[in-house]
């Protein structure tokens, strides 16, 4: 099993917290966000971890040490997270590959749920409000993802993406192929979900419910404050 964590961005919407450190090293409660993710992964048996760095890359390397692999997005200032994933494209292989951004705070029980599903999947929250411009998901009655993206009309969707995905070998290969095509076509200001297109179109991605577990995406100071007060205290272990 392997995990790829995208941690190259500067966290500009949280500048009062990220002026001197990357977002992934901002403490949520008593631990940096990245440490919470690494502990959850290792607790689920995932030891092969690839971290894509950019802003303050040396801080991340010094903090994590030799226990993870590092890939550098040298163009982190001018590209979006799809280009960070492209830097780690060769690691999109194997029977189980987790993929998520460094700003997702999640409960380790969610990894167990994703592991229990043998195919490719993504965690979703059907209880959360669907808002314009957020990563919304359309799921059919069989629990299959039919569309995902920030472009979707919230009224036509059924859940919000937790942005924690897991791919089997076939799914990882499909994502890698589409990822390489998009970057070749100079689509560098996009999100990794753009590379899920063929997999979703083929009905190859399941939705795994996460609405009953604590989680948060931390994009802003307000998100951070809510995560510290309401989410971190509820995390398992």
pTM, whole model, 2 decimals?
0.96
Q: How confident is the model at residue 99 (pLDDT cuts 50, 70, 90)?
A: very high
207 within 8 A of 122, measured Cβ to Cβ: yes
Say yes or no to pLDDT of 132 above 90: yes
Q: What is the mean pLDDT of residues 108-122?
A: 96
Mean pLDDT of the chain: 95
Tell me how far CA of residue 166 lies from CA of 22, 58, 110, 127, 207, in angstroms. Answer: 25, 28, 11, 21, 11
What pLDDT is recorded for position 237? 61
What pLDDT is recorded for position 145? 98
Q: How confident is the model at residue 29 (pLDDT cuts 50, 70, 90)?
A: confident
Q: Domain spanning 2-234: which CATH class is it, in words?
A: alpha beta
What pLDDT is recorded for position 190? 86
Say yes or no to pLDDT of 81 above 90: yes
Helix (H, G, I), strand (E, B) or coil at 192: helix
Q: How confident is the model at residue 41 (pLDDT cuts 50, 70, 90)?
A: very high
Q: What is the mean pLDDT of residues 4-32?
A: 92
Q: Scan for tokens 């040396």, then name that residue.
A: 58
Q: Scan for tokens 């499909």, then name that residue.
A: 174
Give 46-72 pLDDT, tens digit per residue.
999 999 999 999 999 999 999 999 999
* SS3 per residue for 45-95: CCCEEEEEEECEHHHHHHHHHHHCEEEECCCCCCCCHHHHHHHCHHHCCCC
């Amino acid at each position: 099993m392997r995990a790829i964590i995208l941690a190259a961005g500067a966290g500009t919407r949280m500048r009062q917290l990220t002026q001197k450190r990357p977002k992934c090293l901002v403490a949520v409660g008593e631990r940096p966000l990245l440490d919470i993710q690494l502990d959850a992964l290792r607790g689920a048996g995932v030891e092969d971890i690839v971290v894509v760095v950019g802003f303050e890359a040396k801080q991340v390397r010094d903090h994590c040490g030799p226990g993870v692999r590092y890939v550098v997005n040298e163009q982190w200032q001018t590209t979006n997270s799809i280009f960070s994933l492209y830097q780690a494209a060769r690691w999109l292989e194997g029977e189980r590959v987790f993929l998520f951004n460094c700003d997702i705070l999640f409960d380790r029980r969610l990894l167990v749920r994703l592991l229990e599903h043998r195919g490719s999947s993504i965690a979703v929250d059907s209880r959360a409000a669907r808002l314009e411009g957020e990563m919304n998901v359309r799921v059919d009655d069989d629990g299959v993802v039919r569309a995902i993206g920030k472009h979707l009309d919230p009224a036509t969707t059924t859940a919000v993406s937790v942005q924690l995905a897991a791919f089997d070998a076939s799914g990882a290969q499909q994502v890698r192929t589409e990822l390489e095509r998009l970057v070749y076509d100079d689509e560098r200001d996009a999100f990794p979900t753009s590379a899920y297109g063929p997999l979703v179109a083929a009905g190859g991605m399941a939705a795994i419910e996460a609405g009953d577990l604590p989680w948060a995406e931390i994009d802003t100071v307000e998100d951070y404050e809510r995560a510290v007060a309401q989410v971190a205290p509820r995390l398992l272990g």
